[in-house]
Amino acid sequence: GAVVSQHPSWVICKSGTSVKIECRSLDFQATTMFWYRQFPKQSLMLMATSNEGSKATYEQGVEKDKFLINHASLTLSTLTVTSAHPEDSSFYICSASGTGLQETQYFGPGTRLLVL
């Protein structure tokens, strides 16, 4: 149980385009979803926390207008990287936690983004 999926698993896009990444909890209701970014040889950095039905809370230094997060249902959150640039190339990972899971975060498999 407690499976989280992400789609797509990898994406290559041209600079200036927008990319949407989906995070789904497959067998539980995710009251909270977290979005992380990881650059090579670095730790996971939390970008934002989203609770179903409310606005996401962004970490310091993360532009909310560039990284749009929507958590419209208890099983789906989306991250849209708007007007992507090469420096946005990274490994984006979501995690989800829900009631009855003792606040454990379950991680999705990640999405590798390459912006040319």
Length of the chain: 116
What does the alpha-carbon distance between residue 110 and residue 6 come to, in Å, rounded to a whole number? 6
Q: Which residues pair with 51 in a beta bridge?
A: 32
Q: Would you count residue 112 as binding another protein (CB under 8 A)? A: yes
Q: Which one of 23, 93, 96, 115 is in contact with another protein (CB under 8 A)?
A: 93
**Among residues 15 and 42, whose Cβ is nearest to another protein?**
42
What does the alpha-carbon distance between residue 114 and residue 22 come to, in Å, rounded to a whole number? 16
> Least CB distance from residue 8 to another protein, whole Å?
15
| Residues numbered 17-56 forming contacts with another protein, rule: CB under 8 A | 32, 34, 36, 41-46, 49
